[in-house]
């Protein structure tokens, strides 16, 4: 810290908006007539000027800042659950030497500052302490290229004080809401059948209401009813209705063949067996993969005696015969294709992905493993955390090298990347996989003490809305994913680009079957682990599937 420099804070009030102006200046340039307070001790270097009340608009704001960050701040009262909300905007100006640097440097410095400002668990609860933290950060040598910061604060009314995860009032009729929940639950369970009792527990509604709405859905031919057998004999179960025709255009799964019990060994009887397995988890992920295939047939066996049903689709991607399934087969290559959660890395924007961006699990300069699973976290007496890990490398990196080659060839803009064309072709037929309209891409961060912020994800060196593709490690594990602080700390320690739902057992199975050539292709559908909300899942699933197809088309 340089003693000759001080940070001067001036409150400026204009109507409902309050601006906290923080300026770096020499102690020799202070206006003694404006000083209200000069801090000492640990806060030495901080000076407070008299407030400016600008009700008549006399105050002339500065020219446009060189970088800015806008976010919403929500403070939830832990006792009453009342929410106070504000729009906040940080404006940054830089010293002349920094102004000569590229814009990306100024943006990255701004977000590094913001990242330090909102470290979970250390965010001040009141304005005075918050502004003091801004000024203390400006006094650090690492931020001596920032000459001025303005913080604008605008209160929001109650209608705007709504954030993701907060229960919103839904005034639609109960039957409409329940039917929507039923359809989503049945679709995600496919090909498993669900009884009315099971659906009633999941939806948390009376079974009689469930039965009445299911009858309506049957008349609309959106679902199919099946009689249960064995210990469930006398009960009915429901499953998504998939047309048995040559095209199955509505779902993109090709021709459907329903197989009798014990008759799912189609692959073993084939003369030309599939050489590539593509493994998915969600129904929208499987549909996205199937949509990338040609000459495809879906085989399904509905289990009506209890237990899991089975489904897989066999078709071609280029010259490669593929099977999309939930279990690996005895084949040459395996692709795990689907969605994940982005790590919003404010300290290094080059590693920060937005919704729809694609992540290829691979080692990095800092990390030898492509996939890292944390199954336990320990905290010592000093508050330091240690992570219990399982790590996976990819023994045969041939698929990963193909993916890296595509990224190098078409990056950094990716405007002419072949997977964009593949995506567009399929979405023109399956519109439910298009990019969500009227839905903002926003990051929500829990800061502790009832404080939550929402911010548009940082964007740097991005051309248009084309998804970016990055290679780097993926992580998973409930002990870290479910805790905001641990999620950030673990990602920083391991250099993670994203968080996946737990696929550790699938990876064990792949390697246990001695399949050394596999690739994990994910696209970001949230900022958690890919399983938080379903708005972006179809779009992200199709992005991942399109890239996976592009990789397979590179194989000889």
CB-hemisphere CA count at 13 Å for 416?
3
Q: In this structure, is residue 533 part of a structural domain?
A: yes
Contact 509, 487 (CB under 8 A): no
Residue 522 carries which DSSP code?
E
Whether the upstream peptide bond of residue 261 has omega within 30° of 0, thus cis, is no
CATH number of the structural domain spanning residue 465:
3.40.50
Closest residue by Cα to residue 314 from 329, 330, 298: 298
Q: What are phi and psi of 375, to 5 degrees?
A: -105, -5
Rounded to the nearest 10 degrees, the angle between the axes of helix 196-203 and helix 207-219 is: 110
Q: 540 by DSSP, 3-state: which?
A: helix
Residue 141 lies in a domain: yes
Task: Count the Cβ atoms, other than its own, within 10 Å of residue 164.
Answer: 16
Say yes or no: 175 and 138 in one domain.
no
Nearest to 527 by CA among 394, 379, 344, 387: 344
Decide: 276 and 267 in contact? Cβ < 8 Å. Answer: no
Between CA 399 and CA 551 the distance in angstroms is 7
Residues 138 and 207 in one domain: no
Contacts of 268 (CB under 8 A, 6+ apart): none
Place of tokens 């000889």: 556
Q: What is the pLDDT of residue 168?
A: 55
Residue 504 falls within a domain, yes or no?
Answer: yes
Query: Which of helix, strand or coil describes residue 525?
Result: strand
Q: Where are the alpha helices (DSSP H) in 341-397?
A: none
Structural domain count, the chain: 3
| Domain boundary pick from 121, 155, 189 | 155
Are residue 42 and residue 143 in the same domain, yes or no? Answer: yes
Measured N-to-C along each axis, helices 103-117 and 127-138 cross at an angle, to the nearest 10 degrees, of 130
- Regarding whether 229 and 89 lie in a shared domain, the answer is no
User: Which 8-state DSSP code applies to residue 50?
Assistant: P
For residues 343 and 203, membership in a common domain is answered with no
Measured CA to CA in angstroms, residue 331 lies from 222, 264, 295, 516, 546 at distances of 35, 17, 20, 10, 21
- Contacts of 407 by beta carbon, 8 Å cutoff, 6+ apart: 360, 469, 470, 471
Is 257 within the bounds of a domain? no
Q: Is residue 249 in some structural domain? A: no
CATH number of the domain to which 203 belongs: 1.10.10.10
Instruction: Determine contact, residues 332/275, Cβ cutoff 8 Å.
Output: yes
Asked if residue 458 is part of any domain, the answer here is: yes
User: For residue 240, what are the β-bridge partners?
Assistant: 223
Domain finish residue from 114, 132, 155: 155
Nearest to 84 by CA among 151, 166, 161, 167: 161
Q: Does residue 207 share a domain with residue 148? A: no
Domain co-membership, 142 together with 174: no
Residues 367 and 426 in one domain: yes
Place of tokens 């502004």: 131
Angle between helices 398-410 and 537-552 (to 10 degrees): 110
The answer to whether position 66 is within a domain reads: yes
pLDDT at 317: 95
CA distance 377 to 379: 7
Show the domain range for 377. Answer: 333-554
CA distances 114 to 43, 130, 511, Å, are 20, 12, 42
Same-domain check for residues 484 and 527:
yes
Domain match, 110 and 223 both:
no
pLDDT digits (tens, 9 = 90+) for 275-321: 999 999 888 899 899 999 999 988 888 888 877 788 889 999 999 99
pLDDT of residue 413: 86
Rounded-to-integer distance, Cα 277 and Cα 336, Å: 8
Give the end of a domain, one of 155, 174, 201. 155
SS3 493: helix
Q: By 3-state DSSP, what share of the chain in percent is helix, strand and coil, each rounded to 5?
A: 30, 30, 40
Q: What is the pLDDT of residues 85-128, one digit of tens each?
A: 888 899 999 998 877 777 788 888 999 999 888 876 566 667 77
Q: Are residues 113 and 228 in the same domain?
A: no
pLDDT score of 328: 46
What residues form DSSP beta bridges with 376?
388
DSSP 195: E
Residues of the chain scoring pLDDT < 50: 1-3, 166, 328
Q: Which two tokens stand for residue 388?
A: 């219990």
Encoding tokens for residue 464? 């248009």
- Bridge pairing between strands 385-392 and 371-379: antiparallel
For residues 277 and 334, the answer to whether their CB atoms sit within 8 Å is: yes
- 195 within domain boundaries: yes
Contact 63, 99 (CB under 8 A): no
Q: Are residues 233 and 129 in the same domain?
A: no
Q: For residue 250, what pLDDT is reported?
A: 58
Give residue 461's pLDDT.
64
Pairing of strands 236-240, 194-195: antiparallel
What pLDDT, on the 0 to 100 scale, is given for residue 309?
80
């Amino acid at each position: 810290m340089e003693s000759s420099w001080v940070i001067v804070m001036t409150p400026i009030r204009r109507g409902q908006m309050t601006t906290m102006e923080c300026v770096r200046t020499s102690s020799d340039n202070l206006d003694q007539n404006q000083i209200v307070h000069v801090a000492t001790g640990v806060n030495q270097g901080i000076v407070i000027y008299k407030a400016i009340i600008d009700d008549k608009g006399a105050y002339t704001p500065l020219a446009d800042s060189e970088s800015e960050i806008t976010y919403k701040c929500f403070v939830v009262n832990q006792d009453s659950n009342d929410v106070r909300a504000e729009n906040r905007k940080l404006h940054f100006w830089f010293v002349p030497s920094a102004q000569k640097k590229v814009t990306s440097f100024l943006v990255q410095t701004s977000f590094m500052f913001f990242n330090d400002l909102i470290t979970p668990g250390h965010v001040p609860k009141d304005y005075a302490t918050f502004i003091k933290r801004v000024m203390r950060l400006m006094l650090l040598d690492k931020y001596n290229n920032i000459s001025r910061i303005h913080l604008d604060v605008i209160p929001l009314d109650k209608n705007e004080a709504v954030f993701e995860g907060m229960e919103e009032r839904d005034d639609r009729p109960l039957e409409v809401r329940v039917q929507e929940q039923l359809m989503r639950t049945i679709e995600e369970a496919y090909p498993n059948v669900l009884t009315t009792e099971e659906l009633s527990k999941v939806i948390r509604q009376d079974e009689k209401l469930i039965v009445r709405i299911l009858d309506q859905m049957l008349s609309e031919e959106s679902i199919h009813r099946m009689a249960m057998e064995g210990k469930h004999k006398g009960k009915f179960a429901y499953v998504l209705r998939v047309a048995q025709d040559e095209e199955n255009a509505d779902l993109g799964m090709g021709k459907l063949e329903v197989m009798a019990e014990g008759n799912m060994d189609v692959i073993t009887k084939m003369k030309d067996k599939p050489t590539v397995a593509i493994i998915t988890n969600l129904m929208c992920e499987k549909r996205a993969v199937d949509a990338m295939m040609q000459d495809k047939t879906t085989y399904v066996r509905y289990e009506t005696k209890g237990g899991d049903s089975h489904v897989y689709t066999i078709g071609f991607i280029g010259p490669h015969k593929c099977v999309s399934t939930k279990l690996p087969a005895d084949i040459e290559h395996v692709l795990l294709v689907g969605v994940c959660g982005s790590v919003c890395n404010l300290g290094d924007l080059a590693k920060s992905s937005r919704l729809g961006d694609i992540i290829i699990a691979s080692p990095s300069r800092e990390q030898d493993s492509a996939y890292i699973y944390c199954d336990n976290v320990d905290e010592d007496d000093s508050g330091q955390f240690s992570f219990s890990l399982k790590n996976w490398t990819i023994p045969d990196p041939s698929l990963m090298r193909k993916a890296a080659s595509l990224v190098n060839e078409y990056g950094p803009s990716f405007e002419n990347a072949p997977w964009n064309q593949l995506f567009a072709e399929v979405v023109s037929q399956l519109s439910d996989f298009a990019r969500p309209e009227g839905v903002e891409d926003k990051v929500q961060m829990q800061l502790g003490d009832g404080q939550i912020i929402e911010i548009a994800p940082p964007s740097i060196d991005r051309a248009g809305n084309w998804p970016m593709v990055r290679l780097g490690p993926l992580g998973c594990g409930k002990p870290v994913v479910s805790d905001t602080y641990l999620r950030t700390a673990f990602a920083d320690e391991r250099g993670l680009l994203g968080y996946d739902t737990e696929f550790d057992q699938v990876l064990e199975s792949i390697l246990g079957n001695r399949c050394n050539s596999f690739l994990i292709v994910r696209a970001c559908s949230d900022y958690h682990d890919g399983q938080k909300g379903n708005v972006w899942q179809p779009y992200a699933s199709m992005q991942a599937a399109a890239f996976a197809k592009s990789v397979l088309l590179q194989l000889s």
